[in-house]
Amino acid sequence: MPDVVSNVVFDVAVIGAGPAGLAAAARAVESGARVAMIDDNPRPGGQIWRVSRLPEPWLRSQVELFSGARVFAAPAAGVLALERSDSSLELRYRSLILTTGARERFLPFPGWTLPNVMGAGGLQALAKSGLPVNGKRIVVAGSGPLLLAVAKYLRDHGADVRMIAEQADSSAILRFGLGLIARPAKLIQAIGLRAGLLGVRYLTTCWPVGAHGVERLESVTLQRNGKTWTEPCDYLACGFGLIPNVELPALFGCRMSETGVAVDEYQQTSVADIYGAGEVTGIGGLDLALVEGEIAGYAAAGKPQDARKLFAARTSNRQFADALERAFVLRAELRNLPQDDTFVCRCEDVTYARIRQCSNWREAKLHTRCGMGPCQGRVCGGAVEFLLGWKPDSVRPPVLPARVGSLARP
């Protein structure tokens, strides 16, 4: 039974306090709505802005912020079941905006389960959480512009960034770079990042094939143009792009598109009064997330005429996102990374050989427990989708491990 059942019915509830969610909340408040904002992290800002209070220009004291709260179920229409570290509560809403963001795609390779092999954004998050990286030897690897941003952040904080290994080839990146010329602000941002990394090797068509160590990472073997070599390092920061966090939208019955949650021009999902904005609708970066959030915020608060004014800005940002996706598409050779004895599911320690014997996700879950551990397939799902082409199963509540006391209802 929930400890608190709020009698307040919020006009708009926003799940996810990253850029899209903050932009949505700000526009909904501006439109006169009473807004609740829920995020499972202790502080708002999402993964990109980890801040202690809502950042300008999205600072709005009228938003009721529920930090450190995880939505684990939707017990009835217009009701969210939330769990905090010591309590659970039910929250009521009229419109819902899902801005659940994205996570990194991890690909399994021998040794990837060793301590200090982390996501690229993962290591940056840990550094932002207080981990000193000063003097640490770090290899950054995987794919996408996030690698550059992470490498720069780590270097600015004193890390010895040994190299950046990007799996895409240089011609694809060059085409992407040329595409930026049409968008000066983006170009300046990209050059600034590169300049900050002067002296750091940026190797394209290069990826890790093995991580080595006993209790923790000691070195990583990289491959490029048929050659392999081993780099000693303290951390490997490795992520292969981003994938949208669609578990909550799936719980609400929202239809999916090829890229994420399907939305109409007002960012409304296939379910009435439920909106989606930002990375959850498809990976598109900060600027697109902000404008989608604003559109969703206006629309959810009953101001479609204000939302329409932002459609052109969204189209322009969408083009940038499409170019990004084309440049950093994952190469087929990466499907050869996991060996028979490489764990793909880290929660249940299920090897690639066992998973490959199955013919779909459901069979793998039933026969191997792949995706049945605490992360509920959030890590292995993205890998298996790339490796074997399986789409994850349906989502059932609780979408995350929850306490029995939170689940019991009178």
Partner 1 sequence: MQTRPETLRLRVDGLTIDVPAGSMVSAAVAMAGASRFRTSVTGQPRAPLCGMGICFECRVTINGRPHCKSCQIPCEVGMEVETDA
User: Footprint of partner 1 on this chain (CB under 8 A)?
Assistant: 40-42, 47, 52, 68, 85, 103-104, 106, 113-119, 121-126, 129-132, 215-216, 245, 343, 346-349, 373-375, 378-379, 401
Check: CB of residue 320 under 8 Å from CB of residue 183: yes
Residue closer to partner 1, measured from CB, 127 or 300: 127
Rounded to 5 degrees, φ, ψ at 207 are -155, 160
Q: Report the alpha-carbon distance of residue 271 to residue 264 in Å, rounded.
A: 11
Give the residue with the Cβ less far from partner 1, 180 or 211. 211
For residue 353, the minimal CB distance to partner 1 (Å) is 14
User: Which residues does 126 contact at the CB level (< 8 Å), separation at least 6?
Assistant: 118
d(CA 246, CA 388): 19
Q: Which is nearer to partner 1, 116 or 281 (CB)?
A: 116
Shortest Cβ 174–partner 1 spacing (Å)? 31
Other Cβ atoms less than 10 A from the Cβ of 8: the count is 10
The radius of gyration computed from the CA coordinates of the chain, to the nearest angstrom, equals: 21
> Is the bond preceding residue 184 a cis peptide, omega within 30 degrees?
no
| Closer to partner 1 by Cβ: residue 32 or 132 | 132
In degrees and rounded to multiples of 5, residue 265 shows phi and psi of -65, -20
Report, in Å, the least distance between residue 323 CB and partner 1: 26
Tell me the C-alpha distance between 358 and 43, whole Å: 41
Q: Give helix then strand counts, H and E, for the chain.
A: 13, 19
Rounded least distance, CB 10 to partner 1, Å: 24
129 vs 225, which CB is nearer to partner 1?
A: 129
How many CB atoms lie under 10 A from the CB of residue 315? 11
- How far apart are CB 81 and partner 1 at their closest, in Å? 18
Look-up of token digits 């007002």 = 266
CB of residue 314 to partner 1, shortest distance in Å? 26
Closest CB to partner 1 among residues 7, 129: 129
Q: How many CB atoms lie within 10 A of CB 398?
A: 17
Residue whose structure tokens are 């932009």: 23
How far is CA 196 from its chain centroid? 25
Question: Measuring CA to CA, how many Å separate 130 from each of 164, 261, 270, 350?
Answer: 23, 34, 41, 32
Smaller CB distance to partner 1: residue 35 or 344?
A: 344
Least distance (Å) between residue 346 CB and partner 1: 6
Q: Rounded to the nearest whole angstrom, what is the least distance from the CB of residue 159 to partner 1 in the complex? A: 14
Q: Give the phi and the psi of residue 390 in degrees, each rounded to 5.
A: -85, 135
- Least gap, CB of 112 to partner 1 (angstroms): 9
